[in-house]
Amino acid sequence: MTSIKISSDVFNKYHTNGKLRLSTGYVQEALEKQGYPGHDGVVQILKGKEDIGEQMGHGFTYRIRICDGIFQYNTLVSADIDDQIKREAEHLVEGAIIAITNLSTFSQGAGIKTSFLITGYTLLSRYHQTLSAPEVKPRSHSGNPAEHHGYRPNIVVEDVWPEAESITSEFQENMSNPPAAKMPKRESGGEASHNRVPAPEPHRSRAPPPPARRGPSNTERGVIPIAMVTPYVNNFRIHGMVSRKEDIKNIPAKNMKIFNFEITDSNGDTIRCTAFNETAESFHSTITENLSYYLSGGSVRQANKKFNNTGHDYEITLRNDSVVEAGGELLAAPKLNLKRVSLAEIAGHCGEMIDVLVIVEKMDAEATEFTSKAGKTLTKREMELIDESQALVRLTLWGDEAIKANVDDYHGKVVAFKGVIPREFNGGYSLGTGSGTRIIPVPEISGVSELYDWYTTEKPHSELKLISQTSGGMSEAPRTIAGLQEMQFGKDSDKGDYASVKAMITRINPNSALYKGCASEGCQKKVIESDGEYRCEKCNKSMNKFKWLYMMQFELSDETGQVYVTAFGDSAAKVVGKTAQEVGDLKDENLNEYNATFERLQFVPKMWRLRCKMETYNEEVRQKMTVFSVEEVNQDKYIENLKELIEQMKGIEDEGSY
């Protein structure tokens, strides 16, 4: 590999006190100027590869990703300097530093980032680690100059210049030993000339002047810490980084739009801000996560702790006259402020937003899609969490978070969950996530190393206590139908209790297995047919179509008795093995096959998960059983469960003999 030779001219042009200093904010300047901003830019290459092509008539032979210490940007290198590229391609890789001497930009259309095309550069150095300042982590620029308009950072990002070591040494030596001042020449005869230059005053060391006291700038004037924001502070103005930005939520029932974001100042204090309707749309398009802003004007109200886990007692509602201005500088990412609750204590925080620091013991390999009772398609994914309290709790991820979660990023690692909500169900407790939840794998906070040490050393010998109950499991020993009926199972819970039984369908009426429901999304109301139309009283409208929905009632039997149960939605679809729409189409097209579909369900043993609840009808208390899920019988597991029951019965007999 050829070496990089640095001339004195290049050194003098690009060094700062003998070091290579990146031109922080150069990407933003180039975007604002739509090309070369009038001065060279010293940047670092993060990635580089040969790639010959053409975009919008601009030929290129190389692609690089540059970083100016603040912003990163993908950049093309023009084919016009291909000869230089071929000579120096071995150096244009990760860690190299170049000076951009000429640059143009071009657009590829609306919605596509502006492209950079380097048409001139000087290779300065190589083999550097990724450079950044401690207070700012470099981030990718969106390509929209308006987001950071006027931003000119004074942050220093620099490194030594190994290729110019000899020139640097000479420069530093000259700085340490400046040459002596030359005395003026005297005319012959020893007499001083009348035109001679007066001798310079002897150099006297002088203490530097005291630093000028810097008054507040226009942007800083009147700024108060976020911790001081209360309803009693008028005309407040705060400055901080947007640490969380949520998507706009639409609430059709109230014809309302809501936008929430959180802003954190340099002290680490955070406050939640909310905007509605037109104000929400305006600020959502203005604000960018991880950038700093000045915010003034708004109504301060008591924080709703159910949805607000910032730790602040108040939150801000933005108005039409509220002002949000770009901060003019990038602040360091705020430290994670975790108000940790141990898993063994979540029962005391039901319905509240809490923070936990845990190990992810297990995690579903894939997300699961299902249909809710309201008819909506939902996606979820479950995890099992543990911590030093030796409690095991299940947590559910929803929506996009469930889909994008990578098992390798979570399983067996310390993870912080900020803003999760404990919920009680059937005597157990679990954790749920929401739009305000933040998930931080391996956070840089206290307690992480201690938790991981416990996981690797003490956990293998610890007995974990499951404090979550799952309604969908078949892990406990199965019961009998007669047993459930005799003990009135479910009478001790308003929401009902769950039990597993091994049973078979012995009677089912195909004629009442389906009904015609409202075609509106989320509605499952039975429609009324009239003159070729289908009217939904709930939605208060008539339609020319409907959708088939399950409402099955059938008899389950085991060795001890029989009971009628009900199955709806996805649970019924698991029983039949087809969707309601598929079975409904059979009813219209092939009635014999439709009836055969239900006949094939009978007299086949299955493992049923039933929800049992006592209900009052006409002053008579009845036990109602609903199918939650159904599975094939795992004979090995079933035999083990029976053995456990036998041992328990033996223990009862032994106790009765005394």
Residue 496 has pLDDT above 80, yes or no: no
For residue 210, pLDDT beyond 70? no
Of the pLDDT bands very low, low, confident and very high (cuts 50, 70, 90), residue 648 is low
Tokens at 110, concatenated:
């609306």
Q: Residue 331: its pLDDT value, please?
A: 55
Task: Summarize pLDDT for 50-61 with one digit per residue, the tens.
Answer: 888 888 888 888
In the chain, % of residues over pLDDT 90:
31
pTM: 0.42
Retrieve residue 421's tokens.
């909500």
For 18-56, write each residue's pLDDT tens digit. 889 999 989 999 998 999 998 999 999 998 888 888 888
Q: What is the sign, positive or negative, of the torsion defined by CA atoms of 32, 34, 36, 40?
A: positive
In the predicted model, what is the mean pLDDT of residues 166-189?
Answer: 58
What is the average per-residue pLDDT within 177-193? 44
Question: What average pLDDT does the segment 104-130 reach?
Answer: 87
Work out the pLDDT band at 327, boundaries 50, 70, 90: confident
Q: Say if residue 249's pLDDT is above 50.
A: yes
Q: Output the pLDDT for position 196.
A: 38
- State residue 266's pLDDT score: 78
Asked if residues 564 and 624 have their Cβ atoms less than 8 Å apart, the reply is no
Q: pLDDT tens digits for 584-610?
A: 999 989 999 999 999 999 999 999 989
Mean pLDDT of 403-431: 83
Which has more confidence, 331 or 106?
106
Local confidence band at 326 (pLDDT 50, 70, 90 cut-offs): confident
Torsion of CA 113, 116, 117, 122, to 10 degrees: -160
For β-strands 270-276 and 292-296, DSSP reports them as unpaired
Q: How confident is the model at residue 652 (pLDDT cuts 50, 70, 90)?
A: low
Q: For residue range 518-572, what is the model confidence (pLDDT) as tens digits?
A: 988 778 899 999 888 999 998 888 999 999 999 999 999 999 999 999 998 888 9
Sign for the pseudo-dihedral over CA of 88, 94, 98, 103: positive
Q: Say what the pLDDT of residue 270 is.
A: 87
Mean per-residue pLDDT for 462-472?
A: 64
In sequence order, the 6+-apart residues with CB closer than 8 A to the CB of 34 are 105, 114
Amino acid identity at 118: I
Structure tokens at 279: 């104000």
User: Could you tell me the end-to-end alpha-carbon distance of the chain, in angstroms, rounded to an integer?
Assistant: 91
Question: Is 439:385 a contact under the CB 8 Å cutoff?
Answer: no
Measured CA to CA, the distance from residue 273 to residue 429 in angstroms comes to 31
- Count CB atoms within 10 A of the CB of residue 427: 11
Q: Tokens standing for 632?
A: 């094939």
Q: Of the ranges 73-87, 204-218, 227-241, which is most confident?
A: 73-87
- Provide the pLDDT for residue 116: 93
Structure confidence at residue 373 (pLDDT): 63
Among 445, 349, 337, 340, smallest CA distance to 389 is for 340
